[in-house]
């Protein structure tokens, strides 16, 4: 089974024999309570879950598929991608501990560390987004309990040498948690590279249709898994059966959507890079882009999200560009079937050392539309931008 490709295994799990006549997709099981025929059955664990918080069929199937993709001993589902970051940190950090992470961390994860963990005696140290492996390791102290990795990072997409960092941290007894949303559990497998906890926003590519929020937490080591399972048990968090069902539907087509969107994103990135209005494209899969060498060494695919830096201009010009677009929705998030664009310069202000950019920062998510149509739309947007800056 294991030498079949991801795309085959994700589908073969639906068609395997031995479960009798049934629909291809399981019915949605909405339940807090599962009824039993006899009092003795109430405590019989071999009969399966007895209460909704133990996860019902769609969530269990989704967990098994994600565990297969991640090479994990176990996977847990939580109600958002943000919760997939906050639960392991809650499980692994204690008052007096330090956590080290990138200055380009996903904004809500940063807020959680500063506000929630800060109030509970955990100190966060930020390393520069473009730090070398040596510089990241030099920022570890004897109080560092966790290195929180996000690579590529949010908005500016800097990359870290994850295998080197994971190996060095393991040797020093520092746990590694990686936000692997960009790779969708497909293009990079953190656990196989020595990372302790791999999390992703299922919200993005796995769900794939911008219609639900979910996160997943994957571990290889059962001891780390136990502390995460206990934290979830203590906090009482589970996902809804309807959301699990939708995410299970999404994961069947994940490899195809992910690959096709990356193909279009590279075409769009290449086109943007050559435009006079564009000072730079931040996309590790693009030759010449920051992080490209590490991406080529370690990754088997790419997300379809790009940072685009305009050559000069101001917020009004960026807004003129966004306003002129018809195909790119104006909205946050990514990984869905639809293209999206946002103006992100303001988000960088929260960093300790914001990057010095040649213009405004836009973030494009490339969806499943035809790349040529997206480029024509962007051409209209850039014309509006030129009119606004002249
Ligand atoms: C979107 C995102 C999250 C959070 O996911 P939600 O489901 O929106 O909470 C976490 N990390 C990264 C890198 C993301 O892009």
Question: What is the DSSP track for 124-147?
Answer: EEEE-TT--HHHHHHT--TTEEEE
- The arithmetic mean of pLDDT across residues 144-173, rounded, is 98
pLDDT at 135 over 90: yes
pTM: 0.97
Residue 3: pLDDT band (50, 70, 90) is confident
CA gap 295, 36 in Å, rounded: 52
**For residue 37, how far is its CA from the centre of ligand 1 (angstroms)?**
42
Decide: 200 in ligand 1 pocket, CB within 6 A.
no
**For residue 380, how far is its CA from the centre of ligand 1 (angstroms)?**
30
| pLDDT tens sequence across 300-346 | 999 999 999 999 999 999 999 999 999 999 999 999 999 999 999 99
pLDDT at 255 over 50: yes
pLDDT at 146 over 60: yes
Decide: 201 in ligand 1 pocket, CB within 6 A.
yes
CA gap 249, 232 in Å, rounded: 25
**For residue 98, how far is its CA from the centre of ligand 1 (angstroms)?**
23
Residue 1: pLDDT band (50, 70, 90) is very low
CA gap 22, 34 in Å, rounded: 20
**Closest residue by CA, ligand 1 atom 4:** 81
**For residue 332, how far is its CA from the centre of ligand 1 (angstroms)?**
10
**Closest residue by CA, ligand 1 atom 8:** 81
pLDDT (0 to 100) of residue 352? 95
What token pair was written down for 225? 């898994």
pLDDT at 222 over 70: yes
Secondary structure element (H or E) that encloses residue 105, with its range: none
**For residue 154, how far is its CA from the centre of ligand 1 (angstroms)?**
10
Query: What sign does the dihedral 292-296-297-301 (CA atoms) show?
Result: positive
Asked if residue 257 has a cis previous peptide bond (ω within 30° of 0), the answer is no
Secondary structure element (H or E) that encloses residue 178, with its range: strand 175-179
- The arithmetic mean of pLDDT across residues 40-67, rounded, is 95
Atom of ligand 1 nearest to the CA of 203: 7
Decide: 80 in ligand 1 pocket, CB within 6 A.
yes
- The arithmetic mean of pLDDT across residues 8-37, rounded, is 94
pLDDT (0 to 100) of residue 280? 97
pLDDT (0 to 100) of residue 390? 87
**Closest residue by CA, ligand 1 atom 6:** 81
Residue among 77, 80, 81, 156 to mutate when testing ligand 1 (max atoms within 8 A of CB): 81
Nearest Cα residue to 80 out of 213, 199, 208: 213
pLDDT (0 to 100) of residue 2? 60
């Amino acid at each position: 089974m294991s030498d079949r490709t991801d795309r085959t295994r994700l589908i073969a799990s639906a068609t395997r024999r031995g479960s009798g006549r049934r629909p291809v997709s399981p019915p949605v099981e909405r339940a807090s309570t599962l009824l039993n025929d006899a009092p003795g059955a109430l405590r019989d664990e071999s009969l399966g879950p007895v209460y909704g918080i133990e996860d019902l069929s769609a969530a269990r199937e989704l967990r098994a598929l994600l565990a297969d993709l991640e090479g994990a001993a176990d996977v847990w589902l939580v109600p958002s991608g943000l919760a997939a970051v906050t639960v392991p940190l809650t499980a692994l950090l204690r008052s007096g501990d330090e956590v080290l992470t990138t200055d380009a961390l996903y904004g809500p994860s940063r807020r959680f560390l500063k506000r929630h963990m800060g109030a509970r005696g955990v100190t966060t140290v930020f390393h520069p987004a473009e730090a070398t492996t040596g510089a990241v390791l030099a920022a570890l102290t004897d109080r560092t309990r966790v290195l929180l990795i996000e690579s590529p990072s949010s908005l500016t997409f800097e990359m870290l040498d994850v295998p080197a960092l994971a190996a060095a941290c393991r040797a020093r007894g520092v746990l590694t948690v990686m936000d692997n949303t960009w790779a969708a559990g497909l293009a990079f497998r953190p656990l196989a590279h020595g990372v302790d906890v791999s999390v992703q926003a299922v919200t993005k590519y796995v769900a794939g249709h911008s219609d639900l929020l979910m996160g997943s937490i994957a571990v290889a080591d059962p001891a780390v898994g136990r502390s995460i399972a206990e934290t979830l048990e203590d906090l009482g968090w589970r996902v809804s059966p309807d959301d699990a069902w939708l995410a299970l539907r999404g994961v069947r087509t994940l490899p195809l959507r992910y690959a096709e969107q990356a193909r279009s994103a590279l075409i769009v990135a290449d086109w943007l890079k050559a435009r006079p209005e564009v000072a730079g494209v931040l996309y590790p899969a693009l030759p010449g882009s920051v992080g490209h060498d590490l991406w080529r060494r370690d990754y088997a695919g790419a997300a379809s999200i790009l940072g685009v830096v305009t050559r000069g201009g101001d917020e009004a010009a960026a807004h003129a560009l966004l306003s002129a677009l018809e195909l790119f929705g104006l909205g946050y998030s990514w990984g869905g079937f639809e293209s999206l664009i946002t103006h992100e310069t303001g988000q960088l202000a929260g960093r300790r050392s914001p990057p010095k950019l040649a213009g405004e920062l836009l973030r494009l998510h490339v969806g499943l539309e035809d790349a040529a149509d997206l480029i024509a739309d962007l051409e209209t947007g850039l014309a509006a931008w030129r009119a606004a800056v002249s």
